[in-house]
Amino acid sequence: MTSTDDPGGQLWTPARAQVSRRSFLTNTARLGLGALAASSAGSLLAACGGGGSSGSGDTLDFWQWYAPQSGGSYSVKAQNDWFTKLANDWNAQQGKPKVKLTYIPIAQYIEGTQLQSAFAAGKGPDVFVISPGDFLRYYNGGVLYDLTDAVKDQVGDFYKSAMGTRMVDGRVYGLPMEAEPLTMFYSVQAFEKAGLSEGDIPKTWDQLLTVAEKLRSGKQFGLLFETKPNVYQNFTWYPFLWQAGGDIVDPSGKQSTFNSPATVKALAFWQDAIKAGVAPRTTQGGGGGDLVANLASGYAAMAEMVTAGGSFLEAGAPKFKYDMFPLPVPDTSAKPITDMGGWAFCVNKNSKNAQAAAEFCAFAVASAESVDRMVDWAFNAKKSLPVRKSVMKKAAADGQFDKDKLMAYSAFDVVGLDPEGLDTETTPYGRGEPRLTPEVVKAVSDAIQAAQLNGVDPAAAARQGHEQISNVLASYRGAPLGSLT
Amino acid sequence: MTRRHRREALAGYAFVAPSALGVGIFVLVPMVLAFLLSFTAATGFGQIQFIGLDNYRTMFGDPLFLNSMKVTVLYVLVFVPGLYFLALGMALLVNGNLPARAFFRAAFFAPYAISLVVVGLVWRYMLADNVGIISVLLAKVGVDNPPSFLGDPGLALWAVIFISIWFFVGFYMIILLGGLQEIPRELFEAAHLDGAGPWPILTRIVLPLLRPTTFFTLVLATISGLAGLQSFDLIYVMTQGGPANATNLGIYYIYQQAFRYNQFGYASAMATWYALTLIILTGIAFKLTKGGRFEFSEE
């Protein structure tokens, strides 16, 4: 074959080959029929796939975003090792289905479609982890197994703020493994450069904006709040709503209370940060929670994130000097309430081994034998707070809080626990992330976005959000919304 | 039909059969199933309840759906003509006597060879407030407070449209270039001999004879824009529908309803609506142009 050589720069076209019409048609027919047969066989084979859950009679398929994975930072390895050991410890027992760990990258797990697609196809995992924000989607979808009998009398060992959002009508549908309270991180270097010291740490919202203005310089913003419209943005905004005395729904969880002065105040606070130019309209890297990309890089001098963010900074930017302070409050009379995220073990109701899966979850995070395991998770692997009194007391007895300043800060300064009274019913300042339906999450998100980035009057944004939430709740028949204080 | 014709027909059918089977199984069947799903309330957890036209009724009272339609229409109205005229300009440029013509053809096409997710990520970094290269360059030329291209609801959609055009222009340039090269050279020579300048040549020779390719390009770009097949990646990576729903295209809202809210029935209803709109618009276009056939009469 030769190409046509056109000095005018024509696109190359192949010359015609020398074949007869008869041989072309004959060979084409043979090729086409062969391809048709192959593709039909392939399609038929593909259709022969079986249905049911992803696990088999002998295994418990456990989907999560921790293990098995290799490489990464110390915390990634520690979390991988923890889950692997957990599975091995369970699998060493006789007469139980074996746990098989299935790793899904966190971005795909939270924002992707894999979990939803699996459940839609009837192939959801036997065991999986979910955040409080997702609890209602799965509970109302009828796929959460009742874990109450598996947990037995251990329910009282959990702080109410953690367990409350995983219970419906006194029954347990998720076992929390941790609590991740929000706090403010700041760059020590930025503070020193601006002539600020520990005495300038802001305690109120106004002080925070004032300090942020002093820290703003050149390309550096003074303060960073999440700006992407997602569940995480809502999660980081809720503390300011609560501090102002407001809430999304009433204690029954069935009526919207979103249209309130407190909501307006909280929305206005975030709007003011953007209007003043001290907070950016976009975030770097993986979003507002990516402290390495947003704080250590010098993009912002202060940023809101869960206390476990300290471990991310130590892994991703070991030379970066940072410190933390509790979330500022609207005025000095307000309680420094913070939001506590944290993941929970759940069981698929349609699992072939639902009962064994429930026993595994209890074994993993709720049993008396799991205390040391949960101390290891909190203080070594994840740097998130334990949610059980027994685990807290064991950690204190082992001197863990003396050795780990970040965890001590998280437990006693942020969440307000008394080192001498870890047996309290709940966490004084730590409130569990509320469980909401996706439509209510969207309504709150729209209100935040409208006020923060679109300059909408916060009162109008609150009214609009309230109307949307009320419309949703008018025909809502699922479990109550909200969170316990 | 003679035996020869039957053999030819059989060969033809056998040739297209694998492709037709693939399209049938992976496109037509899901389309039909999605259409049927649009009449149900399906949570994605196995609960499916027939609810008739409720999803369609909800759609037209849903402010977020209406907003997504508005955003999508705006996107198409700017994306399609912007893409066409830029691609045409570039095709005319590389079709002429431009030095290093081959290099420019490759350079203009290069963005199309990159993954759209990578494109979104890189542009996100370039457009970052204060520290992105665009903001830095703007500051250097005296713009004191560079705008937030992805954080300002008034700018974000334009930024996405610009990036979409930047990504696709090379591909459409190649299509139009092919159309330009189909135009007989004798017509240009004759026009030159008659003393015609560049503008009369463009308007009286090039554009009329380019009509079939123009039609194809515009239909393809409109379908791509309305369906949002490519823009989804950019939205997912760069803005997630924000800020304040400013880039919440129809395709992204459908994804949110299905995979964030578990409203598969409602999402299917919206997808059906968009598919129907596309079929009607494409049908009108083909009808007006008699199936894309353009007949030229001598003047």
Q: pLDDT of A133-186, one tens digit each?
A: 889 999 999 999 999 999 988 999 999 999 999 999 999 999 999 999 999 999
Q: Which residues of A touch B68 (CB under 8 A)?
A: none
Residue B226, domain CATH: 1.10.3720.10
Residue B1 within a domain: no
Q: Which residues of A touch B246 (CB under 8 A)?
A: 454
**Cβ(A185)–Cβ(A325) under 8 Å?**
no
Who contacts A197 (Cβ-Cβ below 8 Å, separation ≥6)? A191
**Cβ(A416)–Cβ(A146) under 8 Å?**
no
The predicted pLDDT at position B45 comes to 84
Annotate B179-201 with DSSP letters as a single string.
HHHTS-HHHHHHHHHTT--HHHH
Residue of A nearest to B239 (CA): A228
Superfamily of structural domain A181-338+436-474: Periplasmic binding protein-like II (3.40.190.10)
Q: Which residues of B touch A449 (CB under 8 A)?
A: 242-245
CA dist A421 and B172 (Å) reads 70
Can you give the residue range of the structural domain that contains B177? 37-288
pLDDT (tens digit, 9 = 90+) per residue, A47-79? Answer: 433 345 676 678 999 999 999 988 777 778 889
- Do the chains contact at A299 and B151, CB–CB below 8 Å? no
Residue B23 within a domain: no
**A8-17, A191-200, B185-194, B281-290: range with lowest mean pLDDT:** A8-17
Domain count, chain B: 1
Residue B17 within a domain: no
The predicted pLDDT at position A55 comes to 65
Residue B20 within a domain: no
pLDDT higher for B198 or A47? B198
The mean pLDDT of B7-36, rounded to a whole number, is 92
- Do the chains contact at B129 and A35, CB–CB below 8 Å? no
- Do the chains contact at B240 and A228, CB–CB below 8 Å? yes
The predicted pLDDT at position A49 comes to 38
Residue B9 within a domain: no
Separation of CA A228 from chain center: 14
pLDDT (tens digit, 9 = 90+) per residue, A444-485? Answer: 999 999 999 999 999 999 999 999 999 999 999 999 999 865
Q: Which residues of A touch B21 (CB under 8 A)?
A: 36, 39-40, 43
Residue B14 within a domain: no
User: What's the helix, strand, coil split of chain B in %, to 5?
Assistant: 70, 0, 25
Nearest C-alpha of chain A: how many angstroms from B121? 9
Task: Report which residue type is found at B120.
Answer: G
CB-nearest to A449 from B25, B131, B244 is B244
The mean pLDDT of A4-32, rounded to a whole number, is 52
* Average pLDDT for chain A: 89
The predicted pLDDT at position A116 comes to 83
- Do the chains contact at B44 and A120, CB–CB below 8 Å? yes
The confidence band for A336, taking pLDDT boundaries of 50, 70 and 90, is very high
- Do the chains contact at A281 and B185, CB–CB below 8 Å? no
**Size of chain A in residues:** 485
CB-nearest to B244 from A32, A284, A454 is A454
Copy the structure tokens of residue A348: 């698929």
Domain boundaries, chain A: 59-179+342-424, 181-338+436-474
CB-nearest to B11 from A32, A40, A227 is A32
pLDDT (tens digit, 9 = 90+) per residue, A72-104? Answer: 777 788 899 999 999 999 999 988 899 999 999
Q: Which of B130, B146, B159, B165 is nearest to B239 (CA)?
A: B159
Q: Per-residue pLDDT for B253 more than 80?
A: yes
Q: Which residues of A touch B150 (CB under 8 A)?
A: 281-282
**Cβ(B175)–Cβ(B93) under 8 Å?**
no
pLDDT (tens digit, 9 = 90+) per residue, A274-304? Answer: 999 999 999 999 899 999 999 999 999 999 9
The confidence band for A35, taking pLDDT boundaries of 50, 70 and 90, is low
Distance between start and end Cα atoms, chain B: 42
Q: Which of A391, A390, A363 is nearest to A375 (CA)?
A: A391
The predicted pLDDT at position A135 comes to 92
Name the CATH architecture for the domain at A59-179+342-424: 3-Layer(aba) Sandwich (3.40)
What percent of chain A is modeled with pLDDT above 70? 88
